[in-house]
Structure 1
Amino acid sequence: MRILVVGASGLVGQHIVGRLRRRGHESTAVARTRRAGVDHALDATTATVADLRTLLAGHDGVVFAAGVDDRDVPRKPAYPVFFKGNAEPVTRLLTAAREEGLTRAVVLGSYYTHFHREHPEWRLTELHPYIRSRVEQARAARAAGGFPVAVLELPFVFGRAGNRLPNWSGPLERWARSRSPLVAPPGGSAATTAARVAEVAVEALEDASGADIPIGDENLTWREMFARIAAATGNPRRVRSLSPAVVRVGLRLTGLVHAFAGKESGLDPAHLSNLLLRELFIGGGTAGAVDDAIRDTFGSRADDHLGRVGETRSETDQ
């Protein structure tokens, strides 16, 4: 196969390109900024269908590994910003792919869409603009493509690709290396690795899968996750319990600060505790499955790489 990868310079995008080539496929790497390993520089948020058709000509499939992540806090209203970054580019990309005769695609999404399906009573799309944009992204991709589009629903993704790390890893590393107490509330999250996501993405392309694919290799409580991160930095410490009430108050105060500044988070702080205090687990998981990737993410000195974490928000490294 010949596959075009949009967001190819990101953490997961680099792993997908490498995995495709190891499996004997050809890949074309597209990213917003030109650099080593990038074949074409293109901003997916502004590219037209005509622009994309030119790039897609002669390919069999496409991967969308870009988008706006849930840490962005834009001016209110937030939803149009997340829609523009997540749903609109996929609509144009998959429209161009259909017009060029491609037969398969993979979109990297969020595991929040999995919980939206499993728990409609949580009202996730109603309460959180970011989650609504991810649900709309999946719907729009399939409507535009008209061929099998697999949506990979990603939790925390650990790992490294050269000097590229997860966008969210910098603050956690600084905290883990500091002398500040480590505290964690109840609840936790599924986790995976960039290498595993790449493996699933390439399998989905080879199978022309059109499925929703939640990926969770290990389920970690917040206490377990923070303890492993601290150990990986070489500063192992006890993680103390944090009261749910403190989490709720802190998040509500954050929401008030955003409102005062005329901003709106993609995950509404007023309701975010209802997510963070749950066990957002996927399947049974395998103990130790992400240990090596945690060490890869946090095992080097902070000053070697923290300035390079999360270089652009348009390339999703969830």
Structure 2
Amino acid sequence: MITAMRILVVGAGGLIGQHVVDRLRRGGHEATTASRTRHAGLDHVVDATTATVADLRPLLAGHDGVVFAAGVDDRRTPRRPAYPVFHRGNVEPVRRLFTAAREEGLGRGVVLGSYYTHFHREHPEWRLAALHPYVRSRVEQARVAREAAGFPVAVLELPFVFGRAGDRQPNWAGPLARWARSGSPLTAPPGGSAATSADRVAETAVTALEQVSGADLPVADENMTWHGMFSRIADAVGRPRRVRRLHPAVLRSALRVAGAANRLSGKESGLDLAHLDRLLTRELFIGVGRPGALDHAIRETFGR
């Protein structure tokens, strides 16, 4: 029998955070919600990037565990050098949060991370952390969370996440939906990505808390080629059409041009555009996948 837990969810206003809260409560657990943006039903307004250990300890008091569902994603293009921005958004908040959790006597935790840490571990020859500031921040995030906590912290390594929570959808969904609905040609390079749903992530997070897991947990339901993903998105938005092949050399040239523009403006991407073509044209797949498993989640994301 599973004992009921009391869990603080930081980043509870986000797509995945909302699913985690819902899954906890449906499982008979108590969820306390914290987010930097006030919304109905929120327990605490807190900015994880600026909150100190002293700020966080009262929020954590009396809880069994904590979930970190906040952070800076890989689309950020700050001024050069980029790494300090990703460090401030992804590493320092978990250091302070899990230090406060240890001091308050909590015993379990979950960090929602990135599947790039999985590939960093499985393919050191790709040099992902050395080449990409965002990936480096996620690798450091996992290490720092566990060092600060001193108790089991599961790191969920997340790929593309489909789904919706009210009006909240993935940050990348809007641009893809507009592209799919437009008159512009749909093109896709070789390669592809693992993908999952927000509900599956929430289920995995709650199970990790219940089992007091400290594992690295890649989460995936399907492995999709870019061609297949874009075609299914076009179907979901009601504009099915052919997806044409994009030659890797064309992708490489476009990314080089974008990288040059960044340099001229003093900016740097979280995923270095000089090396991103090699990453995008790989099959970033996890396990064998289940074809069609995300049909409902894709329709939910894009079908409104």
Query: Normalising to structure 2: TM-score of the pair?
Result: 0.98
2:194 is paired with a residue of what secondary structure? strand
Does 2:303 correspond to 1:299?
yes
Between the two proteins, the alignment pairs up a number of residues equal to 300
Q: Answer whether contact 1:186 1:278 (CA < 8 A) is retained.
A: yes
1:38: Cα distance to partner?
1.2
Structure 2 alignment gaps of length 5 or more: none
**Which amino acid letter does the alignment assign opposite residue 131 of structure 2?**
L
Does 2:135 correspond to 1:100?
no
Question: In 2, Cα distance between the equivalents of 1:101 and 1:249?
Answer: 52
Aligned alpha-carbon RMSD (Å): 0.4
Does 2:164 correspond to 1:184?
no
Partner of 1:70: 74
Partner of 1:43: 47
Partner of 2:219: 215
Does 2:281 correspond to 1:277?
yes
Matching residue within 248, 264, 268 for 2:268 = 264
Report percent identity of matched pairs. Answer: 75
Question: In 2, Cα distance between the equivalents of 1:37 and 1:68?
Answer: 24
Partner of 1:10: 14
Question: In 1, Cα distance between the equivalents of 2:45 and 2:172?
Answer: 24
Matching residue within 175, 178, 181 for 2:179 = 175
User: Could you list the runs of 4 or more consecutive aligned residues of structure 1 that deviate by over 6 angstroms after TM superposition?
Assistant: none
Partner of 1:229: 233
Matching residue within 85, 88, 91 for 2:89 = 85
1:216: Cα distance to partner?
1.0
1:88: Cα distance to partner?
0.2
Structure 1 alignment gaps of length 5 or more: 301-318
Question: In 2, Cα distance between the equivalents of 1:273 and 1:183?
Answer: 15
**Which amino acid letter does the alignment assign opposite residue 11 of structure 1?**
L
Matching residue within 60, 69, 73 for 1:56 = 60
Question: In 2, Cα distance between the equivalents of 1:58 and 1:157?
Answer: 31
**Which amino acid letter does the alignment assign opposite residue 81 of structure 2?**
P
1:178-211 deviations in Å (ceiling 9; x for gaps): 1111100000000000000000000000000000
Does 2:250 correspond to 1:246?
yes
**Which amino acid letter does the alignment assign opposite residue 267 of structure 1?**
L
Matching residue within 197, 204, 208 for 1:204 = 208
Question: In 1, Cα distance between the equivalents of 2:161 and 2:42?
Answer: 22
1:252-289 deviations in Å (ceiling 9; x for gaps): 11110000000000000000011000000000000111
**Which amino acid letter does the alignment assign opposite residue 226 of structure 2?**
W
Query: Normalising to structure 1: TM-score of the pair?
Result: 0.94
2:22 is paired with a residue of what secondary structure? helix
Question: In 1, Cα distance between the equivalents of 2:42 and 2:229?
Answer: 33
1:128: Cα distance to partner?
0.2
1:37: Cα distance to partner?
2.5
Partner of 1:28: 32
Q: Answer whether contact 1:9 1:37 (CA < 8 A) is retained.
A: no
Question: In 2, Cα distance between the equivalents of 1:60 and 1:174?
Answer: 42
Partner of 1:312: none
**Which amino acid letter does the alignment assign opposite residue 65 of structure 2?**
G
Greater relative contact order (CA < 8 Å, ≥ 6 in sequence)? 1
Partner of 2:162: 158
Q: Answer whether contact 1:155 1:216 (CA < 8 A) is retained.
A: yes
Question: In 1, Cα distance between the equivalents of 2:219 and 2:21?
Answer: 19
